[in-house]
Structure 1
Amino acid sequence: MELTAKGMEVRIGKKEIVKNVSLLVKNQQFVGLIGPNGCGKSTLLKSIYKSLVPQKGTVFLDDMDVLKTSEKKVSQRLGVVGQFNEMNFDLTVGQMVMLGRTPHKKLLESDKREDYAIVEEALARTNLLDYKDRSFLSLSGGEKQRVILARTIAQQPKFMILDEPTNHLDIRYQLEILSCVKGLNIGVLAALHDLEMAAYYCDYLYAIKNGEVYAHGTPEQVLTPETIESLYQVKCQTYINPVTNGLGFAFGI
């Protein structure tokens, strides 16, 4: 399933945050958005998954016009894992993950054997089977994020958007979440802060600066010292990381 966004423009108040951005995620491709804080990455993603209404632009998942299609139908194909997932009420981990089946149900339809099997599989994929009866609110930040990922997997989406899902997590949980998503073999569009993670997991990158696409291409094409300095105002040298065999980065002011 391909995602195509064309001519996306988003204003908040009088400020133009996203300026005529177009991007493409091919079938089963893992595409990353990189750029400094405030460059428009999350705003762009929110306009793609309909949390914000863009002033201009189109978004298609294959032939589905996302911006003109009901939330329920979009959620049957598109799953979103965000950065913040705080709740004012408590559910068990199993109940949280079962919420991922909602887009596939009629109003007040009860959970079926198939739903429970899908939830069990999602819990297994995220190493959460032993947490099924735990309180969601009792979990650590990394554990909560894995639950949200499991809930999204239970939706059985054909495409997934990650809106800076690992931004406040330690390295272990970053690796667990991104490795799990990569293993789903579906299209992914992810906003990422860690450049080594972006280089390792992404097939293609879009670098965003001041609400516009500054550069795009493979990680090797985009993550150059010149581009990184322009984006982040820091000096950088790249090297081959002996652990990942991918790009590594050494920074200086």
Structure 2
Amino acid sequence: MELVAKEMEIRIGKKEIIKNMSIHVKKQQFVGLIGPNGCGKSTLLKSIYKSLTPHKGSVFLDEVDVLKTSEKKVSQRLGVVGQFNEMNFDLTVQQMVMLGRTPHKKMLESDNQEDFQIVEEALVRTNLIDYKNRSFLSLSGGEKQRVILARTIAQQPKFMILDEPTNHLDIRYQIEILSCVKSLNIGVLAALHDLEMAAHYCDYIYAIKNGEVYAHGTPNEVLTSETIEALYQIKCQTYINPVTKNLGFAFGL
């Protein structure tokens, strides 16, 4: 499933946050959005998954007009993993993941054997099967984020948006979550802060500055010393990591 967001414009109050931005994610492509805090990454993603209403633009998942289609129908195709997942009430891990089946069910329809099987598979894929009877609120931040990912996998989306899902997590959980998403072999659009993670997992990158696309291309094309300095106002040298064979970064003021 392909995603095309075209000529997006978003204002909050009188401030224009996103300025005529277009993004294309091809089938099974992992596309990253990078850029400094406040550049518009999350705002763009929120407009794509209908948490914000853009002032102009269109969003299509294949032939589905996302902005004009009901949230339930969109949720049958599009899953979202966000950054913050605090709750004021408690559920078990299994119950949390079962919520991912909601878009596929009728009003008041009970969970069936197929739902339980799908949830079980999502728990296995995210290494949470031993946690299924644990309280969600008792988990660490990284564990909670894996539960949210499992819930999204149980939703069986054809496309996934990651709205800075690893921003507050340590390196282990960053790798676990991004590796799991990559293994799904579906289209992914992800806002990422860690440039090494972006270089390792992304097939294509959009660099965002002041609400506009500053550069786009493969990681090698975009993650240059010149582009990184333009985005973050910091000196940087790039090199090939001898272990991973991916881009590495050395920063200095």
TM-score of the two chains, using structure 1 as the length reference: 1.00
| Alignment correspondent of 2:75 | 75
Q: Could you tell me how far 1:113 is from its partner in structure 2?
A: 0.3
Identity of aligned residues (%): 87
Structure 1, unpaired ranges of 5+: none
Task: Give the AA of the match of 1:84.
Answer: F
Find the aligned partners of 1:35 and 1:241 in 2 and give their Cα distance.
22
Deviates more, 1:80-89 or 1:235-244: 235-244
Q: Secondary structure at the match of 2:53?
A: coil
* Deviations 1:195-248, CA, capped at 9 Å, x for gaps: 000000000000000000000000000000000000000000000112211000
* Correspondence list, 1:174-185, <5 A: 174-185=174-185
Structure 2, unpaired ranges of 5+: none
| Alignment correspondent of 2:34 | 34
Find the aligned partners of 1:56 and 1:109 in 2 and give their Cα distance.
37
Q: What do you get for the CA RMSD once the two structures are aligned?
A: 0.3
Find the aligned partners of 1:45 and 1:3 in 2 and give their Cα distance.
12
1:57 aligns with 2:86: no
| Alignment correspondent of 1:169 | 169
1:136 aligns with 2:136: yes
* Correspondence list, 1:1-253, <5 A: 1-253=1-253
Please list every run of at least 4 consecutive aligned residues from structure 1 whose deviation after the TM superposition is greater than 4 angstroms: none
Find the aligned partners of 2:97 and 2:199 in 1 and give their Cα distance.
30
Find the aligned partners of 2:37 and 2:242 in 1 and give their Cα distance.
29
Task: Give the AA of the match of 2:147.
Answer: V
Q: Could you tell me how far 1:165 is from its partner in structure 2?
A: 0.1
* Deviations 1:151-188, CA, capped at 9 Å, x for gaps: 00000000000000000000000000000000000000
Find the aligned partners of 1:34 and 1:13 in 2 and give their Cα distance.
24
Q: Could you tell me how far 1:38 is from its partner in structure 2?
A: 0.3
Find the aligned partners of 1:48 and 1:235 in 2 and give their Cα distance.
33
Find the aligned partners of 1:230 and 1:31 in 2 and give their Cα distance.
21
Find the aligned partners of 2:155 and 2:245 in 1 and give their Cα distance.
34
